[in-house]
Structure formats: C-alpha cells, structure tokens
A = this chain, B = another copy of it.
Amino acid sequence: MEKETLKFTPRTDLAIEIGALLKEEHDDDNYEIEGVQIDTNTQPVFKKTHITILNEAGASAMGKPVGHYITLESQELKENDPEAHKKIIQEVSETIKSLLPKTKETLNVLVVGLGNRQATPDTLGPYVTDKVLVTRHIAQFVPEAIDESVCHLSSIAPSVMGLTGVETSEIVKGVASHIKPDCIIAIDALGSRSASRINTTIQISNTGISPGAGIGNKRKQLNEETVGCPVIAIGVPTVVDAATLVNDTMDCLIENMMMETDNNALLNMLNDLGQQEKYSLIQEVITPVMGNLFVTPKDIDEVIVYLGNVIANAINIAVHPGITINDVNKYRY
C-alpha cells in the first residue's frame, strides 16, 4: 500500500475527492489524514466542506499544497432555482471574501476566466469573465465617475494553449506584470472522478490552479509563486472523462453481480486492484479508441449559465464593497 501512495497521481482537482479516495484506500471512513483538518456544515440548500491542509505531511498525503479548500455541494446548482442560487451566492461570496488579502481598502483584483470558448463545458471561466463588473479602466481614465463602492477589477479570458500557442500561465503572468493586482481570482471548469459531481460542486481554494488540468493536460500552475500575488481558484467539474464513466459503471455492475456468483476470478482480481490501478487499466484500454471523447450532460449550455451567474455574482459581492446580495444579476459587465 505504501508504494501505491507514493505513485499516487490524483486524477481529480477536487480536494474533497482526494480525501474520499484516501479513506477508501484505507478502507476506513473515519480515517484521519495527518496534517489535514476537515470541517463539514450541512445547510438546507448545500453541504459545505472545509478542508485545511495544515502542513507538509498533509500536503504530501493529499498531493496538494498547504492551504484552504472549501467545497460547496448542491444539486440545485444545476437547476433553474434562483432562490437556492441566492443562498449559494451568499456562501461563495463569503468564502471568497475570507480568502482575499486584507492589505488594502480598495483592492486591485484580476479575474481570470480559464478555458476554451469553443467547447461548451469549458466555457465557464470565460462566461464569468464576461459577467463580473469591470471597473479598473474607469478608475484609471474617469476616476471621478466611480467611488469607493467598487474595487478596481479587470478581467481576462486567456483561452487555451491549443488555440493560442502560448502557455496560459504565461499570458496571465504577462498581463499581471502590468496590472500588478493584489489578488487573482481564477475560474476553471474541472474534470471530476464522479459523474454525480458534474455541475453540482464548487471548490474554492487559495492555493492556485493548473490551467487546463481538467480537460487537457496538466500545465504550469497559476499561484502566488508564479504570478506574484495570491491566487484564489474557483473550480466546477463540468465533465468526467470516459475512463471515469466506465470505471464507475463497472463498479456498479460488479456489485450487482457479486450477489449472483461466488467463485469469480475476475471479480476477485478487480477487487484486489486499488482504485487507482483499476482506473489506470481502464484508461489504458480506452485511450487509443476514445481518447478525445468527453462526457457531459445534455443541458450543459443552460447549466453553464446558472453556474456562471452564481460565480460572477459571488465575486462581485465579495470584491466590490458597495455590491450586496440584493444586487444579484444587476451587474453583468
């Protein structure tokens, strides 16, 4: 088991899933991960899980840097339910606010919408970029037109390396070196290891993000070290890969069949494999044939609008002192 943990490459960007994987591997639902603190809080509309990676031991166990990882889970996220969304906006905005630097009255915030505008499940980031209230140019060119009710917000959607030919982190770095923001808020669509998480989970962390990790390859990080200011990352899983889908289905299938058969070499063999090994096996088989397929809900166009509005509103409320929950959907640009 030790060896396995060492070669463990998490195929998820969600800290909450890594925690669950570790518990699974130790076959112990109450397994405590050293150096990691987990608090949960269940509300009528959402469940909030706050994972704090306290030290290097925790970082090594989780495969993620020291810092805060807050997850909100809500089935209503993918429904057209403005009342529920208002509650989620409130919670997300408070979470963002708690992670913002406290150094200044009027922050200079750069919102970065990661992802590809040409592939629907990957448009979440650019959508948010289009919807936050952008003020930096007004502060700069017509300062008399705004007051302290707004911070200095700018926003870019740097597209993806396959379309630009440039590492996304380098575009952000280039722009940030000019703007010198106090804080970057980066939004990205993620992949998940569970179909049930698609469009129902928001993760907010203060440890940066890997552009394109969800859908493309893992690339250079956007974090305080690379861009020179704190990076708050907001991610929502909008796709699962084909291998995850097969893996989950096979698990269900085997479980169902288990009851009907006793002596079963394949079953035993599959069960002897760790989760990660089984997934790798499936991935190996699936890649040549279906490597560029993705799995997403039919109504993804519509759901991106809900998710994007939730996140854009939450950012507006968190960063602009004068905007409150009563202004939901009031500011689009």
Contacts and interface: CB of A to CB of B under 8 A. Distances in A.
A38 interface: no
A308 to B, nearest CB: 13
Contacts of A42: none
A264 to B, nearest CB: 4
A184 interface: no
Nearest to A83: B330
A248 B256 CA distance: 19
Contacts of A159: 156-157
Interface in A244-287: 245-246, 248-250, 252-254, 256-257, 261-267, 269, 281-282, 285-286
Q: How many copies does the complex hold?
A: 4
A279 to B, nearest CB: 12
A273 to B, nearest CB: 11
Contacts of A249: 242, 246, 282, 285-286, 290
A245 B157 CA distance: 33
A44 interface: no
A117 B118 contact: no
Interface string A114-149: 000111100000000110001111100000000000
B292 A295 contact: no
Interface stretch (A1-9, A13-21, A173-181, A228-236): A173-181
A106 interface: no
Given A293-B195, A295-B295, A330-B82, A285 B265 contact: no
A55 interface: no
A22 interface: no
A245 B293 contact: yes
A108 to B, nearest CB: 10
B292 A294 contact: no
Interface string A160-193: 0111111100110111111100000000000000
A225 interface: no
B137 A167 contact: yes
A296 interface: yes
Given A155-B164, A174-B177, A264-B265, A250 B245 contact: no
A322 interface: no
A129 B160 CA distance: 12
Contacts of A163: 129-130, 134, 155, 333
A295 B297 contact: no
A80 interface: yes
Contacts of A135: 165
Nearest to A130: B163
Contacts of A118: 130, 301-302
Interface of A: 80-82, 117-120, 129-130, 134-138, 152-159, 161-167, 170-171, 173-179, 195-196, 198, 215, 242, 245-246, 248-250, 252-254, 256-257, 261-267, 269, 281-282, 285-286, 289-290, 292-299, 301-302, 329-333
3 nearest A-B residue pairs (beta carbon): A174-B174, A154-B165, A136-B165
